[in-house]
Structure 1
Amino acid sequence: MKQLLFYIALIFSFSAQTQELKVGILRAYDLSAVRISYNEGTYNVYGDSTELTSIWSGQSIECKRSGDKIKLVKDDKTLGTFDTVYFRGVESGNSFRIRPTSPYSKKERKYKDNIMLIPSGNTEITVINEVMMENYLPGVIESEGGGGKHIEYYKVQAILSRTYVLDHLSKHRKDGFYLCDRQHCQAYHNMMRFTPDIQKAVNETAGIIMLDHQLELADGYFFANCGGQTSESDFVWNNPVPYCRSIVDTFCIRSWQANWTKKIPKSSWKNYLVQQFGYPVNDSIFGQYLYAFSQPNRKAFYIDPRLGIPLRDIRTEFKLKSTWFDCHLEGDNVVLEGKGFGHGVGLCQEGAMSMAKLGYSYEQILKFYFTDIQLFDYFHWLFLRQEEMVGL
């Protein structure tokens, strides 16, 4: 029985790695209607299990919520109303264009492979891109990191994104898909359009994943710029992540996002610290540091841990670029002089980009930012786990 369960898991994982992922797209909209148009190839259109029509160059179909079903309209002709609608490419290399029409958006997006639409809620449509892993990852990497980067950096992002997908296949199961297109999953705004090196990076790292010291899938946390030092994970989140330790990073310090300054009214600063945390303004020691704070290395708390004022809370309250800052008083303002942009845990994107330009490999970059991680072939990893799963 255990052996059977292993092979079922293996088949599911193989499907996730080499066949279609289900990704919820356009999740920023409460959609009740979309227009789906030709981009490349030919699509057959199905209402439930019935083939209805095809779309090719110059053609499109309007998909509208109608009662508890979805109505399809092509060339002003209603094709019917259905529980589920599918657009399936006839050959490989198909891609479609999609635009929200209710609510209306001028922005049109393009995606590869297939699409499914199902009713959701009382008036909405859920749109799911059924996309091959090798087509999904380039879209994510271009959405997250943009173009013009060194291919070794794109290889880093490919491995982090692939590992994330395989570790979060159940994140949106209740919604009918695996992952969505928003940042709390992975940004996925379009298929890859402008940067061929990204596709090359995905292909050249095919199947490679990142594992922690216990040979479990590792979360590849990343952010824009660390300012010269990454953060301990428990400075930002409640639980420590063993492979995300603070390191000194000089590769990002010349970037424009490495330093920042912000002025906050003295009264706002004082009121927040006193009202939220009971800052002892009259204390003979702590009172003099209310507006004066020095942080030569990253810390977790303002002034002193005994005061219980997490820097992450101050960052959220005043919308700061990072938790790494010094502050002093100038007139009626508290001046914050900070470093870095983002939560600071894991991989510094601008540092990694600089390392790639200097000739470091993707493996060297990942092992610089993450502690005691290993890079493995996905299927090799699955077979290593077989012994544990079958209890031999």
Structure 2
Amino acid sequence: MSLFRTFLIAALCLIAGGSAASLRPETVRVAVVKGADTVRIDGAMALLTDSRGEPLALEMPLEVKRVKDGVQVNGRTLSGLVVSAPVRVAVNGKGYRGVLEVSAGTERGLLVVDELPLEDYLVGLINCEISSAWPMEAIKAQAVIARSYAIFQKNARRGAPYQLESSVMDQVYEGCDVEDSRAARGVQETAGEVVTYDGKVIQAFYHSNCAGHTESSKTVWGLSIPYLRGVACRYCQEANPIGWELKLPLKKVEAQLKAAGIRVAGVREIRVLERNESGRVQDLVVIDGKGRTIVPGVAFRKALGYSQLKSTNFEIRMAGDDCLINGAGSGHGVGLCQWGAKQRAADGFDYHEILTYYYPGVKLAKEYGQ
């Protein structure tokens, strides 16, 4: 972080009522826009500089476009743009805290990165990942795992333009407009607290609904991590019994498999070949004109799309020229089950008990703060 941006974030913390301890807060860098052709930026009392820290006198709102030599802001070409404001900066109508950096990025389109105090990020995250109307112990559990995940990713991606995506690729974050007092309370009452294993902050994966049993990291990613073992979970079924159905033309499924690099042609049938210990699909067999192709369940889900095939807990059968899929649960199934955590909190478990259940062998520790 540059000295100039450190000053900006510290100043914004003091304006927001931060203490002297907030002068050097733990911060994160979150990619809030990637690949957009244009963005619109607005904010009251905004401070604008170029990427070198030189002040800019530009009239708000700002229309930013990517151009060959950098970014074009209200018709003026710059190498990059840095924006901050006492309360919030709006990007395409969404409010964000901290310091916003706009650049051409390394891919097509614009890259907008929000650098802000980690605790502020968490308050905005709660209502994107769960609901602040949930029991407080579930909110606290979410705050702790989101903090742990963010710190792990920050350490893993040091030197990168950003440490976190604002989507399901990391953690869903829609800015400060969804903050509320219950979300803030859950974050404040666990301030600086993280989940650790063997003295190190864990990679705290989590998902929406496991449908009865969480999944091991080895099954999903091929890497056995001791605190990411599958555990039984009846709680999510009580809180949110989630079933789903999918009907897809067999030709469309074949096209999606081919696009994912799976060599099939003239697919006639797809069926489950093997299930793992949690009951999810381990492998499927795809039968076509050339024979049989074994496809791992996780690869099949990725090929069809995570939003379409919500989990690998499913049955599949053929009906004429269509694939009929009946499934349960949502997400990869690894780590904490959010709907299970909600029910455990409603049953009287505190967030320590919730976290140590879903992440076997872990401990909670204070990473920073008083």
The TM tier, using the shorter chain, reads: 0.7 to 0.9
After the TM superposition, which residues 177-216 of structure 1 pair with which residues of structure 2 at under 5 Å, given as runs? 177-212=162-197, 214-216=198-200
Deviation string 1:229-255 (CA, Å, 9 cap, x unpaired) is 112322222111211222221111135
What residue is the counterpart of 1:338 in the other structure? 327
Q: Aligned partners of 1:226, 1:299: CA distance in 2, in Å?
A: 10
Q: What does residue 49 of structure 2 align with?
A: 46
State the 1:54 CA deviation: 7.8
8 A contact 2:69–2:77 mirrored in 1: no
Q: Which moved more, 1:154-163 or 1:189-198?
A: 189-198
Give 1 or 2 for the bigger CA radius of gyration: 1
The aligned runs of 1:302-321 (5 Å cut-off) are 302=283, 310-316=296-302, 319-321=308-310
Q: Does 1:354 align with 2:361?
A: no
For the 8 Å contact 1:22–1:130, the answer to whether it is kept is yes
Correspondence for 1:95: 88
3-state SS of the aligned residue for 2:200? coil
Structure 1 residue 313: Cα displacement: 3.6
Alpha-carbon separation, structure 2, partners of 1:299 and 1:178: 31
Task: Pick one of 20, 41, 65 that aligns with 1:36.
Answer: 41
- Note the C-alpha offset of 1:115: 1.6
- 1:246 aligns to 2:230 (yes or no): yes
TM-score under structure 1 normalisation? Answer: 0.70
Query: Any gaps of 5 or more consecutive residues in structure 1?
Result: 1-13, 100-107, 282-288, 381-392
> Distance between the aligned counterparts of 1:132 and 1:254, measured in 2?
36
Report the alpha carbon displacement of residue 263 of structure 1 after superposing the two structures with TM.
Answer: 5.6
Give, in whole Å, the separation in 2 of the partners of 1:226 and 1:140. Answer: 21
Within a 5 Å distance, the mapping from 1:41-80 to structure 2 comes to 42-47=45-50, 48-53=52-57, 59-73=60-74
Structure 1 residues 290, 178: closer, same or farther in 2, change over 3 A? Answer: closer
Contact 1:160 1:210 in 2 (8 A): yes
Which sections of structure 2, spanning at least 5 residues, go unmatched?
1-20, 286-292
SS at match of 2:282: coil
CA contact (8 A) 1:210 1:374 kept: yes
Which residue does the alignment assign to 2:212?
A: 228
Q: Which amino acid aligns with 1:354?
A: Q
Match of 2:235, SS state, is: coil
Q: Which residue of 1 aligns with 2:143?
A: 158
* Per-residue Cα deviation, 1:266-298 (whole angstroms, up to 9, x for no partner): 99999x9xx979xxx9xxxxxxx9679888952
Q: What is the alpha-carbon distance in structure 1 between the residues aligned to residue 280 and residue 331 of structure 2?
A: 15
Partners of 2:238 and 2:220 in 1: CA distance:
24
Letter in structure 1 aligned against 2:348? G
Q: Distance in 2 between matches of 1:37 and 1:132?
A: 21
- Equivalents in 1 of 2:97, 2:317: separation in Å? 52
Q: How far apart are the structure 2 equivalents of 1:54 and 1:82?
A: 12
Tell me the secondary structure at the aligned position of residue 143 of structure 2.
helix
Looking at structure 2, the residues matched to 46 and 265 of structure 1 have their Cα atoms a distance apart, in angstroms, of 53
Q: 1-side partners of 2:66 and 2:49: how far apart?
A: 16
2:163 & 2:227 partners in 1: Cα distance? 26
Structure 1 match to 2:82: 86
Q: Summarize the alignment of residues 349-388 of structure 1 with structure 2, pairs less than 5 Å apart.
A: 349-379=338-368
Specify the code of the residue in structure 1 equivalent to 2:62: I
- Matches of 2:173 and 2:142 in 1, distance apart? 13
- Cα offset, 1:180, TM superposition: 2.8
Deviation at 1:18, TM superposition (A): 1.7
Deviation digits for residues 49-106 of structure 1, max 9, x if unmatched? 3323487xxx423334454143433xxxx6x5432322233x5xx211112xxxxxxx
Report the secondary structure of 1:202's partner residue: helix
Q: Indicate the residue corresponding to 2:282 in structure 1.
A: 301
Distance 1:320 1:180, change over 3 A: closer
What value does the CA root-mean-square deviation take over the aligned residues? 4.0
What is the identity percentage for the equivalent residue pairs of Structure 1 and Structure 2? 23
SS of structure 2 residue aligned to 1:52: coil
CA distance in 2, matches of 1:362, 1:183: 23
Cα 1:257–1:264 change in 2 (3 A) is: farther
Q: 1:25 maps to which residue?
A: 32
Distance 1:111 1:187 in 2: 14
Paired residue total = 331
- Amino acid aligned to 1:199: A
Letter in 1 for 2:216: E
Q: Deviations over 1:134-190 (max 9, x none)?
A: 211122222222442222212111111111121112555565233232322222222
SS state of the match for residue 145, structure 2?
helix
Q: Structure 2 vs 1, CA of residues 148 and 170 (structure 1 numbering), >3 Å: closer, same or farther? A: same
Give the equivalent residue in structure 2 for 1:389. Answer: none
Taking the aligned partners of 1:265 and 1:205, their CA distance within structure 2 comes to 48
| 1:174-228 deviation per Cα after TM superposition (whole angstroms, max 9, x unaligned) | 652332323222222222525321111111111101112x222211111111111
Letter of the structure 2 residue corresponding to residue 60 of structure 1 = P
